[in-house]
Amino acid sequence: MSARPLRSSSPKNSSASPTLGERRSACEVRLVSDPAEFGALRGAWSALAGAGRARVFLQHEWFDAAWQWRQQTARPYLLSMVSGSDLLAVLPLVCEETVGRTARLRELSFLSVPDTQTCDMLVREGEQAAASNAFADELARRQRDWDVLRLKYLPPDSIAASSLRDALANRGFTARLEQRDRNPYVRLDSRWEDYYGTRSRSLKKANNLAANRLKKAGEVRIDWLEPGARDAARLAEVMDAIIAISAASWKRRTGNSLDKPGPQAFIRRLSQLASERGWLSVWTLSLNGRPLAMEYQLVGDGRVFALRSDFDEAFDEISPGSHLGRCLLERLFGRGLERYCMGPGENRYKQRWAEDAEPVAELVVYGRTVRGRLLKVWETTLKPLAKRLRDKLIRGRGPAQESDDR
């Protein structure tokens, strides 16, 4: 790829500018497979994202931080559409070897991490169809590079789930779109008292019990590193505190706690970049001066995205995480914010707070390699058939047989 700098195309063209048709004919798709080349895109990427008012999860800073984690197992496979020195679209992918049911697979996926809430192509307004067709052509041309394309975290209005999917299907690829999850959220554009009054009696009782237990245990303090804060020393102190909390949480058994190399590199890089952009929001709860619970958030476009909520597992009985969650949510009301997004997943605690949820879809496209074709047969034919047979057998088991089994 050429090392010449790129810029985002200006939405206004002078009379001397080429026509839309001329500019499109000059477009080309470049594969960005070098981390240094990806880093060099930051200026043009930010201009493109800013012109489209992209949310934080499509900004270069987010993908930069995600790469700090994903580089342990993947390599960059970003597709960019350019016209001269203008950046018009980006499909932010990585390539990784995974172990599938049929064989080891070369999988293309978004440059994402478990904390990602939404993802998509980033495209200049008016270029969706052109970019989707160009990227589909490039993926077809490079079909020997990959066995399966899995794009998760797609919101309802995603370009990848519509235009790109159609473009790939038109080129003969089997493209399957399924709703995989939901992202629950709380509307913040009302009064806290009105909202909290609609919550269940059991939730309110649990909140009161948690508050009383903590009060009896000692001095409780809640601190908030607000968006826009520029205190480097305090940021460093907060980072050390939340990493220590995560290391003492149940997540240490998953390998995703913040003291692990990948997650820690991600959260430290994200904190640095998000602080510069004014997105960073971190809450901590301390008991007698000891940090016990935290929530890590990004705030942008009127939305609060809760990425991480951890608490010290040794203090589970006094519920520091539950108390912090209730207190921070109350303080987010009345600040002109739109939503508090809790992240994909139907966790029980989310259901107790959220009344609404945004669907999250996954696009799966099977490659034309032998392994891609085998995977397609397994996932679209054999696996569904095995599930139907299993369900039929379960339905056919009468109460008497189930009793005999016991």
CATH at 71: 3.40.630.30
Question: How confident is the model over 231-259, as pLDDT tens digits?
Answer: 899 999 999 999 999 999 999 999 999 99
Least confident of 24-28, 45-49, 155-159, 260-264: 24-28
* Model confidence band, residue 229 (pLDDT cutoffs 50, 70, 90): confident
Asked if residue 308 is part of any domain, the answer here is: yes
* Model confidence band, residue 267 (pLDDT cutoffs 50, 70, 90): very high
Asked if residue 355 is part of any domain, the answer here is: no
Q: Is the pLDDT at 279 greater than 80, yes or no?
A: yes
Please, what is the average pLDDT of the chain? Answer: 90
Q: Is the pLDDT at 16 greater than 50, yes or no?
A: no
Residue 395, pLDDT score = 80
Specify whether 142 is located in the same domain as 61.
yes
Specify whether 292 is located in the same domain as 230.
yes
Asked if residue 263 is part of any domain, the answer here is: yes
Closest CA to 103 of 377, 364, 362, 363: 377
Specify whether 41 is located in the same domain as 110.
yes
Q: How many domains does the chain have?
A: 2
Question: CA 64, CA 238: separation in Å to the nearest integer?
Answer: 21
**DSSP secondary structure letters along 211-262:** HHHHHHHS-EEEEEE-TT---HHHHHHHHHHHHHHHHTSGGGGTT-STTSHH
Residue 26, pLDDT score = 74
Question: How confident is the model over 41-89, as pLDDT tens digits?
Answer: 999 999 999 866 668 999 999 999 999 999 999 999 999 999 988 999 9
Specify whether 179 is located in the same domain as 254.
no
Least confident of 97-111, 155-169, 272-286: 97-111
Specify whether 272 is located in the same domain as 320.
yes
Residue 390, pLDDT score = 84
Residue 12, pLDDT score = 41
Asked if residue 402 is part of any domain, the answer here is: no
Q: Residue-wise over 196-235: b if at least 16 C-beta within 10 A, else e?
A: beeeeeeeeebbeebbeebeeeeebeeebbebebeeeeeb
Residue 230, pLDDT score = 85
Q: Is the pLDDT at 403 greater than 50, yes or no?
A: no
Of the chain, the percentage scoring pLDDT greater than 90 comes to: 80
Specify whether 380 is located in the same domain as 255.
no
Asked if residue 97 is part of any domain, the answer here is: yes
Question: CA 66, CA 59: separation in Å to the nearest integer?
Answer: 11
Asked if residue 281 is part of any domain, the answer here is: yes
Residue 355, pLDDT score = 87
Q: Is the pLDDT at 404 greater than 90, yes or no?
A: no
Specify whether 90 is located in the same domain as 224.
no
Specify whether 139 is located in the same domain as 226.
no
Range of the domain at 272: 189-337
Residue 280, pLDDT score = 97
Residue 87, pLDDT score = 95
Closest CA to 116 of 173, 69, 33, 57: 57
Least confident of 90-104, 361-375, 386-400: 386-400
Q: Is the pLDDT at 327 greater than 90, yes or no?
A: yes
Q: Packing angle between helix 60-70 and helix 261-277, nearest 10 degrees?
A: 170
Q: Is the pLDDT at 11 greater than 50, yes or no?
A: no
Q: Is the pLDDT at 102 greater than 50, yes or no?
A: yes
Specify whether 273 is located in the same domain as 379.
no
Specify whether 379 is located in the same domain as 315.
no
Question: CA 12, CA 25: separation in Å to the nearest integer?
Answer: 19
Of the chain, the percentage scoring pLDDT greater than 70 comes to: 90
Specify whether 219 is located in the same domain as 104.
no
Asked if residue 60 is part of any domain, the answer here is: yes
Residue 100, pLDDT score = 66
Asked if residue 144 is part of any domain, the answer here is: yes
Please tell me which residue, 9 or 336, carries the higher pLDDT value.
Answer: 336
Specify whether 43 is located in the same domain as 114.
yes
Q: Is the pLDDT at 406 greater than 90, yes or no?
A: no
